[in-house]
Every structure is written in structure tokens, then in C-alpha cells.
Structure 1
Amino acid sequence: MSEFGKPVAAAGTVSFGIVVAPVVALCDTFSIARGNALSIRKVSIRQIKAARALLAWSQEQMAEQSSVSVPTVKRIEAADGPIGGRDDTAQKLIAALEEAGIEFIPENGSGAGVRLRKDIQN
């Protein structure tokens, strides 16, 4: 059993006609308890700040693009680690950055990161 907030694997199967494929998602125990096991992605505050820098957005532009208040953006970016606060706020920030062309690279042994989608790069 995992401690609160520590990653755990949630597994199941999804049937597509005759083929049955396993489904595994990385999530935290809080998300599982709330029934959101497959909807929460792990994105760090450092990734959010790096993505914003890659787009050359100010905190004010980030707030405007994500429909989140400037004080909320400042408060979130003042911390470190995974994004805290409300899930919908984190999703708004992530969605705004992805819409602008950011791809979040998950931790895969080489470290998490961000990059611009190929179709956005000059």
C-alpha cells in the first residue's frame, strides 16, 4: 500500500471487440480515492515554469491564457514539486500550455521535461 500522494499503478483491462488490452495509469492515491485514477497526470511546477519560459509568456499571460488569476499563478510557481492546489486549476494551466504547443515529457529515467510540438517549432 502506498502513502498518500505517492505514485501507485492502477491497472485494469479494456475490451476492444475480441482483443483485450491491459490499461495501466500512473496516478496518486488521492486521485484513486476520488475516482479519478486515469485523469490526473503528474506535471511538476518546474515543468510548468519551463513551459511558460519556452513560450516566453509572463505570469500575467499565463493567467490570461488559462483563465486562472495572476495571484494563483504566482502562488503555484512559488512552490516546488508537483502542482498543488485544486485539480481544475492544474488542468487549466496544463491545457493552456498544451494548446500553445507544449508537450510534457513524463519521468522516464532520464528526467521529466517539456518541449514544443514539432509543428510549432520554427
Structure 2
Amino acid sequence: MKGIQCKLARVALEWGVLDLAKAANVSTQTITRLERGEQLRPSTLNNIQSVLEDAGIEFISENGGGVGVRFKRPMS
């Protein structure tokens, strides 16, 4: 997961930095650092990604069109 994907996922879920930080049990500064493109420990990055995936986000790898996110299942 790249920083821009984290931000896109948060916006899609209508979560603020504080919401994601609480859900992932990290500081708001950690989320901000990730979204600025700074390196995080792999375990921290995996934790944040797992929280977003559990909330219904699917991460799209770069496949010629750039990275992105989408919902795993249709929104109700």
C-alpha cells in the first residue's frame, strides 16, 4: 500500500485521520507520515492496510494505469 492509496481509502470510507488511527491503534502522526510518503515499519503498514481491507477496501496495484483503491463489494 502506498500513501496515496491510504488517503484514497480513508476518503472512500469517509474516515478522518483520527478514525483510521484509532481503528489501527496507531498515532495520527503515523497516518500522516504514511500519507506523505514516508517509510513505516512493515508491520505497521500491514496493520493499517488490514484495517482498511477489513472495512471493505481493495487495493489495486499498478497495472499500467497506476495504483488505486475500490470497494470490495457494492455499497448498500
* RMSD over equivalenced CA pairs, Å: 1.3
Task: Name stretches of at least 5 consecutive residues in structure 1 with no aligned partner.
Answer: 1-42
Gaps in structure 2 of 5+ consecutive residues: none
Instruction: List aligned pairs for 1:9-48, cutoff 5 A.
Output: 43-48=1-6
Find out whether 1:98 has 2:53 as its counterpart. Answer: yes
Q: Tell me by how many angstroms 1:49 deviates.
A: 0.4
Percentage identity across aligned positions? 38
Query: Are the counterparts in 2 of residues 105 and 113 from structure 1 also a CA contact under 8 Å?
Result: yes
> Where does residue 31 of structure 2 map in the other structure?
73
Higher RCO, Cα 8 Å, sep 6+: 2
Which structure dedicates a bigger proportion of its chain to strand?
A: 1
Deviation beyond 3 Å, 4+ runs, structure 1? none
How many residues get paired? 76
TM-score (norm 2): 0.90
C-alpha distance after superposition, 1:38-81 (max 9, x if no partner): xxxxx21001100010000010000011111112112222x23x
Q: Does 1:60 align with 2:18?
A: yes
SS across alignment from 1:108? coil
Partner in structure 1 of residue 68 of structure 2: 113
Aligned to 1:88: 43
TM-score by length of 1: 0.58
